[in-house]
Each structure stands twice: as structure tokens, then as C-alpha cells.
Amino acid sequence: MITRRRFLSQSTLIAASSAVARAMVHNSHAVAPPVVPNLDPDTLARFVDPLPLPQLAQPIERRMAPDGSGERVPFYRVPMRAISAKLHRDLPPTNLWAFGGSVPGVLFDTRSGEGRLIEWANELPQKHFLPIDHNLHGAEKNVPEVRGVVHLHGGKTPAESDGYPEDWYVPGQSRTYYYPNRQDAALLWYHDHAMGINRLNIYAGLFGLYIVRDSVEDALHLPSGKYEIPLVLMDRNLRPDGQLSYPVSPDPERPWVPEAFGEAQLVNGKLFPYLDVEPRLYRFRILNAANGRFYRLSLSNGAQMQQIGTDQGLLPAPVALKYVQLAPGERADVIVDFSVHRGEKLQLMSEPFELMQFRVSNAAVSDVGAVPAALRPVPRIAESSAVLTRRLTLDESLNMVAESMGMLLNKTPWHAPIAEKPVLNTTEIWELVNLTEDVHPIHLHLVRFQILDRRRFDVFDYMTANKLRFTSPPMRPDANEMGWKDTVRVNSGTVTRIIVPFVGYAGRYIWHCHILEHEENEMMRPYEVLRAGSSS
């Protein structure tokens, strides 16, 4: 069961607690804020609110694409603004930040090869309502409190439209990004990526879904229209008055915490929603938008689901599963057959939580639908095609001066010179060596990749003698990981190998852990895709 993950060893926790205690003894102004108990979601009635569906984004006009193609493409303007919304029938409205008027934000439904221009307008307040840690890189006191920049997660996007974390802008400003959509059908998502406060902005609600469709997917006649349902999962803590409560450390001068878990489990922005369904096939497009929680999804009666797609689109064939595991940032495309559950009520679970309820009607259905035996070919990339193999570590360290836990990629801070410089239209193998006790979902911007294998190794030998000694044979990816990915689960004490074709665009991108608190302190690094022959 992956609902919470141990991040620090017991000895490290003791050391960290002692360090904070010492800091508070010597800092007379560092007084811990009073503890206000969070709302217990179990005190609320279950399944009294219908599942809301995101509003479809509507273009304003057509404008010339900036890529020199001469094509006129749909143009949208999407504001980031403060809203209030009821998360449950029996709670007062909660203050949130949203793209448009809801959390999740407006839904983009697009076609492969048909570009989009989107103006992301920052109309947020001047002051943040969640606790900023000014010790984090990029969130210093001389930086404006409220900033935003948008990243299309999973998009094959030109660098200038990728949402680089330092390219943030303040209220009253906007940026227009171009998304060419030159990629296979897939469920993507967009979210804030502002340096130093990304975890807070997403916790506040700044994210939404972006669907790309194509003719290959159309030909499969998968459930569509009202039978295709987006499910955005996230966890939050709420105060008794219904307002967001973001966890903080005991030191008010350094409020960052290594992981943020909430007791309130929201689906499409509602607590314990229900969905009325017909006794037929439904397609669920599922996103884990939590800051740090892993979900292990199942149906309450133990029924099987069929996963047909992952981050970057369709799998080669459906995979029958009783559990679907999603790390933060991962997506799953899942078919559920309700025809065998006529008249029943089923819960979508992630133990120990009930997330939502399906109410299956007794209606007569002329066509329940069918899942194709074959979906989309995913040819495996030959390891011999890689021009370079990079060994990159996932690290953690306790800074006894700063009294904080720092996460790094390859023992390198964010601001160090760029080390990873793949060449455009070449393929590399990245060996991700996890030296920590946590599972890290690693996301690479721009690209899609395939998982080669995972293999356990002796962490002590590596850390003391820089010796990579494997303790297990290579383990193939799970069946539902055999498609194209953009976010990979890197288990503790394993080397996870991915093979990455760097195609699309040259420029500066990033790779990072998608546990947002890790990313922010500072398990995130830039990389640069070079054009052939370039020396930069």
C-alpha cells in the first residue's frame, strides 16, 4: 500500500528535529505557530455531491502560428485568478487559485498536429495565502511573493513555451505560449512551475487537463462523449472552516516540509463525489495531481479494470488489473465495465481512503461497448541505438546549518552549470541511481521515453566506495509501463534505466522529481538539447 512514504530514516529524523530545536532555542523570534487541528473528512457525509466535470476551454479567435508555417491556429486567453468553491455540500466555500473559474482548470481538448496558442494571464492577488519559505532557492524575500509560469506536462513543446521555472511573471502580466501538438494522442496536464513556490501554487489549485487526440485513437472506437470521464486526484488538508491548510515545520522561519500529505481526498475538486453511470463501458482519464501522495486505485468489490494507456498515450494492448498505481504527475487511461454491476454501488478506493462512488443504473443499454485486443504499436527502442549512457544519482542530505533536508539530482544544486547536454535527434540511456529511502517520480520535460529495467543494488557500497554492486537481476517494467512515459517511478535502492530519444526542439529544459516538496529543495536540474555541431 502506497498512501504515505517514509522520507527520512529514524536517525535522520532525530537529527533534523534536534537541529530545529537548537535553532528555536537560539532564535528568540522563531516561535512555532499555534497548532490548529485540521478537519477530519470522516465527519462529513459521503457521496452527497455529484462529480463535477471540467469546463471545456473555448478559443477567442484564430491567430498566426509563430513557427513560420503560415497556419492560423486557435487562440485562448486563460486567467490565473483567486476563486472560492465548495469542496463538499456541508463545507463553506474554500479559497483557491484557479485557471479560469474552477479547480481543476479549464480542459483543453485538442488534435495532434493542430497547434494552439494560449495566453496565460496572471490575475492573482499580490500576496500569497500559503506559507512561503524564503530560504528556498528562488523564493528569497527580495522576490515578489506571487509569481506564476505554466508548464504543459508531457508536451513536446518549444523551449520558449515550456515554462522554465525562472521565467515567472507577476500579477498584471501574461505570457503567450505555442503548443504545436506534434505528438501522439495522450492525456497531458498543465500546471504552475514557478521557482520556489511551485508546490504552493499547485496546492492552491493551479493545474488542469490537456487532451491530445488523433486518428489512430479514433479508429479504436473507445468510449467517448459522456462515457469518457476525466478524474483528477489530489489530497489536501482543510481547516474546520473549510480553508486550505498547508503543513509547515516547527520553525516558522523555515516552514518547508519534505512531503505534504492531506487527509481530504478530492476528485475533480470534490470530497466524496458520486457519478451516475450506465451498465456499459466507461473510459476514465486519470491524473495524480497530488503534491506527494501515491495512489493505488482499486474498486471496492475487487473487480478488474483494464488499463489502456499511460502518460504518453495508448499501450500496445489492454492490461487487466485490480490495482492501478499512480505516482504524482503520472496518468492512466482506464476502462471499467459496469455492465456486470447493474444496480450496484461501487467505490473507487486508494486504501484506506474511499475516493468516490459509482452508482450503476438498471437502464437498458443497446451497446455496452468493447475493448480492442490491440491498441497502438509501441516498438521497443534498441539499446544499441543509444549514443551515450549517463549515470545520475538521486540524493538526499541533511544540512545541519540550514536545519533542512535537501534533495539533489547527481549531487548538483539547481544553479550549477548545466551538465546534461544531449544532441537533438539522438538517443541516450539514463541510469537513475536512487540512493534515498523514498520513491521518486522523475519527470523529463520535452521528451517521451521507455523504461528498460529496474535493478536493486547495494546502496552502502555505492555511497562509501562508489561501487555499483547489483543485488538482483534486472526487472522488466510492469505490463502497464510498456508504453511511452514521461514520468518514471524510481524505487528506493534501485537503478532504473530509461531510454530517451531527444527529438522535437533544441533548447533549455528541466528534469526533476515530481514530489513537489522535493523538487523545490532542490531535486530539479536544467538540461540543454543541443543542435548537432553546436558547442554551447
The pLDDT tens digits of the residues spanning 362-382 come to 999 989 999 999 999 999 999
The pLDDT tens digits of the residues spanning 435-463 come to 999 999 999 999 999 999 999 999 999 99
Cell digits of residue 152: 504543459
If asked whether residues 335 and 482 sit together in one domain, one would say: no
Tell me, yes or no, whether 536 lies in a domain.
no
Tell me, yes or no, whether 10 lies in a domain.
no
The residue-averaged pLDDT of 33-45 equals 87
If asked whether residues 190 and 253 sit together in one domain, one would say: no
Please give the tally of structural domains in the chain: 3
If asked whether residues 390 and 504 sit together in one domain, one would say: yes
Cα–Cα distance measured from residue 333 to residue 190, given in angstroms and rounded to the nearest whole number: 17
CATH at residue 349 = 2.60.40.420
pLDDT at residue 5 tops 60: no
If asked whether residues 336 and 448 sit together in one domain, one would say: no
Q: Which residue range forms the structural domain that includes residue 265?
A: 225-242+249-360
The pLDDT tens digits of the residues spanning 341-360 come to 999 999 999 999 999 999 99
If asked whether residues 156 and 95 sit together in one domain, one would say: yes
If asked whether residues 445 and 301 sit together in one domain, one would say: no
Cα–Cα distance measured from residue 348 to residue 361, given in angstroms and rounded to the nearest whole number: 17
If asked whether residues 190 and 280 sit together in one domain, one would say: no
The residue-averaged pLDDT of 501-516 equals 98
Residue 427 forms beta bridges with which residues? 501
If asked whether residues 449 and 481 sit together in one domain, one would say: yes
Q: What angle do CA 215, 326, 264 make, to 5 degrees?
A: 120
Is the distance from CB of 19 to CB of 27 less than 8 angstroms?
A: no
The residue-averaged pLDDT of 217-241 equals 98
pLDDT at residue 24 tops 60: no
Tell me, yes or no, whether 286 lies in a domain.
yes
The pLDDT tens digits of the residues spanning 177-212 come to 999 999 999 999 999 999 999 999 999 999 999 999
If asked whether residues 178 and 238 sit together in one domain, one would say: no
Pairing of strands 524-529, 494-502: unpaired
Whole-number Cα distances in Å, 310 to 102, 241, 496? 25, 37, 18
Tell me, yes or no, whether 32 lies in a domain.
no
If asked whether residues 103 and 201 sit together in one domain, one would say: yes
Q: In what order do the strands lie in the sheet with 207-213?
A: 108-111, 207-213, 186-192, 150-153
Say how many C-beta atoms besides its own lie within 10 A of residue 365's C-beta.
14
The residue-averaged pLDDT of 113-142 equals 97
Residue 8 is predicted with a pLDDT of 34
Residue 383 is predicted with a pLDDT of 98
Tell me, yes or no, whether 377 lies in a domain.
no
Tell me, yes or no, whether 16 lies in a domain.
no
If asked whether residues 262 and 185 sit together in one domain, one would say: no
What is the gyration radius of the CA atoms in the chain, in angstroms? 23
Residue 489 is predicted with a pLDDT of 98
Residue 534 is predicted with a pLDDT of 76
Residue 533 is predicted with a pLDDT of 83
Tell me, yes or no, whether 336 lies in a domain.
yes
Tell me, yes or no, whether 13 lies in a domain.
no
If asked whether residues 66 and 184 sit together in one domain, one would say: yes
Q: Which of 313, 345, 360 is the last residue of a domain?
A: 360
pLDDT at residue 234 tops 90: yes
The pLDDT tens digits of the residues spanning 384-416 come to 999 999 999 999 875 544 444 579 999 999 999
pLDDT at residue 36 tops 50: yes
